[in-house]
Amino acid sequence: MIQTTILSLALLAAPAPLQNDGHDHDHGAAAKAAPAVQQPTEFAPQTTCPVSGEELEDRDLWVDYQGHRVYLCCKKCNKKFKAFPDRYLFEMYQQGVAPENVQKTCPVSGDDLEDRDNFVQYLNLRVYTCCKKCKRKVAKDPATWLDELEGRRPQEKCAVRGGKVKDEDSFLVEGVRVRQCCAGCEKKWRADPAKYFHEMEEQKVVLEADPGTCLLHPGATDAGRNWFVTVGPRRYWFHSLEELTRFFADPTKYLPDLAANAGRAKEHAGGHGESEGAGHDGHGDHDHGR
């Protein structure tokens, strides 16, 4: 019998809809007025490019991200997808489309997957585990195990000097907690955060917002770890699917630096390290307008 865990508003014990969240803090009028979000109940396989919306003529070009394979129609769309994968995955989710899972091992135990009977569904991503025990761990903290599938890890070395980081020497930059080897590195971080964020991204380091904080409501401390977005090396939390949806409707409203950091990253070669399928794009250098 297939054992599944669905992370949804109906089944998660944590975030309730914004209209009746039961918290004592006030999220403001905009949050109270947020409409309920209807989740897709079934997902279709990918047939179109998530960037251009065009039908896929072939499957020669792809990006592997968090244990899933996303197909693109051309090299230009490939670059756009890699700049912000979570955005396009969420748009696919809203369209009821799921990327192809290409897992071979359990992210918790590291064991080979002998079957696909146990899995956790987070939005349109399906994380398979080797057993029920591992499944429960993924359901409790999907972000950590998606990081494991992507090869991301918490910060261990200072981005400025390369020394071992200390928790007491930490500070917030653009809403995420940065650790350093000594107090003197903060000045350099703040002088050019895009540079060091790019270095962290290249090293597959994830820098998280403080536990419980919500990107849409900075004063909140009870957001939990059930809803989140990863932007390069940065991770932000949300109270609910409604809030996550509101973020994706206009990411630069909440992260004004997003466009600037993306531009800075283009100055460096390489992208952010996902496995990439080799193939022709067949479209030249046309612009799809996104």
Per residue in 130-150, pLDDT (tens digit) is 999 999 999 999 999 999 999
What is the pLDDT averaged over residues 8-25? 34
Q: Which residues contact 52 (CB under 8 A, 6 or more apart)?
A: 73, 74, 77, 288, 290
Q: By C-alpha distance, which of 199, 27, 228 is closest to 122?
A: 228
Does residue 176 register a pLDDT over 70? yes
Considering only residues 270 and 51, tell me which one the structure prediction assigns the higher pLDDT.
51
What's the pLDDT score for residue 264? 47
Average pLDDT over residues 49-66: 96
In 3D space, the residue among 71, 67, 66 whose CA is nearest the CA of residue 55 turns out to be 71
What is the per-residue pLDDT for 261?
53
Confidence of residue 259 (pLDDT cuts 50, 70, 90): low
Q: What is the pLDDT of residue 281?
A: 39
* Pairing label, strands 227-231, 234-238: antiparallel
Residue 148, in any domain of the structure: yes
Average pLDDT rounded to a whole number, residues 263-287? 42
Count up the domains in the chain and report the number.
1
pLDDT of residue 12: 36
pLDDT, tens digit (0-9, with 9 covering 90-100), for 210-249: 999 999 988 888 888 999 999 999 999 999 999 999 999 9
Could you tell me if residue 242 is inside a domain? no
- Is-above-0.85 flag for pTM? no
Residue 222 confidence (pLDDT) = 86
Higher pLDDT, 267 or 104: 104
CA dist., res. 12 & res. 142, Å (int)? 12
Q: pLDDT category, 41, cuts 50, 70, 90?
A: confident
Section 187-208 average pLDDT: 94
CB 155 within 8 A of CB 189: no
Residue 115's pLDDT band, with cuts at 50, 70 and 90, is very high
CA distance 83 to 113: 30
> Residue 260's pLDDT band (boundaries 50, 70, 90)?
low
pLDDT of residue 257: 82
Sheet holding 62-65, edge to edge: 100-101, 68-71, 62-65, 275-276
Question: For residue 166, is it within any domain?
Answer: no
Radius of gyration of the chain (CA): 19
Helix (H, G, I), strand (E, B), or coil: what is residue 154?
strand
Residue, of 27 and 128, whose pLDDT is higher: 128
Residue 157 resides in a domain: no
Residue 194 burial by CB count (10 A; 0-12/13-18/19+): exposed, middle or buried? middle
Q: What band does 86 get if pLDDT is binned at 50, 70 and 90?
A: very high
Q: CA-based angle 258:168:14, to the nearest 5? A: 60
In this structure, how many other beta carbons lie within 10 angstroms of the beta carbon of residue 47?
A: 9
Amino acid 118: pLDDT? 96
pLDDT score recorded for residue 220:
82
Q: What is the mean pLDDT of residues 263-272?
A: 42
In a domain, residue 108? The reply is yes
Q: In this structure, is residue 73 part of a structural domain?
A: yes
Helix (H, G, I), strand (E, B) or coil at 146: helix
Question: Which of 241, 224, 223 is CA-nearest to residue 6?
Answer: 241
Interatomic CA distance for residues 125 and 99, integer angstroms: 7
Residue 111 lies in a domain: yes
Give the pLDDT confidence score for residue 271 in this predicted structure. 37
- Does residue 45 fall inside a structural domain? yes
pLDDT of 36 reads 56
Backbone angles phi, psi at 113, to 5 degrees: -80, 110
Q: CA 246 from chain center: how many Å?
A: 15
Q: Residue 33 has what pLDDT? A: 42
Q: For position 27, what pLDDT does the model report?
A: 42
Model confidence at 37, pLDDT cuts 50, 70, 90, reads low
As a three-state string, the secondary structure of 89-137 is HHHHHHCCEECEECCCECCCCCCECCCCCEEEEECCEEEEECCHHHHHH
Q: What pLDDT does 38 receive? A: 67
| Domain limits for position 108 | 3-152+272-276
